[in-house]
Amino acid sequence: MLVHSFMKQIQRPKAVVFDLGKVLVDFDYSIAARALASRVRLSLAELEQTINQSPLLHQYEAGLMTTEEFFKQFQAMAGYDGGFEEFADLFGNIFTEIEPMVAVHGALCDAGVPTYLLSNTNELAIRNVRRNFPFFGRFNHHVLSYEQRLMKPDPAIYAVVEEVAGLRGADLIFLDDRPENVASAVARGWQGVVHQSPLLSRVALEGAGFLTEMRAESRTAA
């Protein structure tokens, strides 16, 4: 198993860039589908297909439609008979915290390491994450696809991170569960980690020169 299949360390990075979904929080659109199922005319399978990585969701996360437009299109496609606030809560309530990775992020923040979030996501998802997961507020900056109207692995969204961080190339290290997203970062000279598990990502960050305090605590506990 590869710990960091795209990582080629040149120097100790100055900042860490995290993906959100499947790295810091897990998500499951079937939770939203089950919660909405009694309010639509679609079958459960059809409903999940409508909201889970669908063309509609892609347009929404790419910033090609507003939240209001997304809701109206969902209403028309699914026959949803509820109000917007109910839909927003049910649609966004799909996340669970990946505690070991949140602990890694917290340790970096406590050590004064700048951290940035780079995520393909949407306004309703972020509303839920912001409300329920305090770690979200500890990032130096959030670069979100729906706000930028850009999605990973488009190089232009990585350029936004560079601009807000004031850093380039190997000064940045990026953790993402999708190899193509990491590859796009590495093509810009960033260091990259394909996230496979909290343990392996922590080992990769230790190898980059971070988390020495956490490593020492682990050895003491052992």
CB 140 within 8 A of CB 167: no
Going by C-alpha positions, the residue among 193, 204, 177 that lies closest to residue 23 is 177
- Taking residues 2-11, report their average pLDDT: 51
- Taking residues 6-14, report their average pLDDT: 69
Check pLDDT > 50 for residue 160.
Answer: yes
- The whole-angstrom distance between residue 183's C-alpha and the CA centroid of its chain comes to 16
**pTM of the complete model:** 0.91
- Taking residues 122-134, report their average pLDDT: 97
Bridge pairing between strands 172-176 and 141-144: unpaired
CB 202 within 8 A of CB 105: no
Tokens read off for 139: 């990032």
d(CA 47, CA 49): 5
Domains of the chain: 15-26+96-221 (3.40.50.1000), 29-92 (1.10.150)
Place 5 in a pLDDT band, splitting at 50, 70 and 90. Answer: very low
- Percent of the chain at pLDDT > 90 equals 89
- Taking residues 14-19, report their average pLDDT: 98
Residue 110 exposed, middle or buried by CB count within 10 Å (0-12, 13-18, 19+): exposed
pLDDT tens sequence across 61-111: 999 999 999 999 999 999 999 999 999 999 999 999 999 999 999 999 999
Place 126 in a pLDDT band, splitting at 50, 70 and 90. Answer: very high
For the chain, the distance separating the N- and C-terminal CA atoms, rounded to the nearest angstrom, is 24
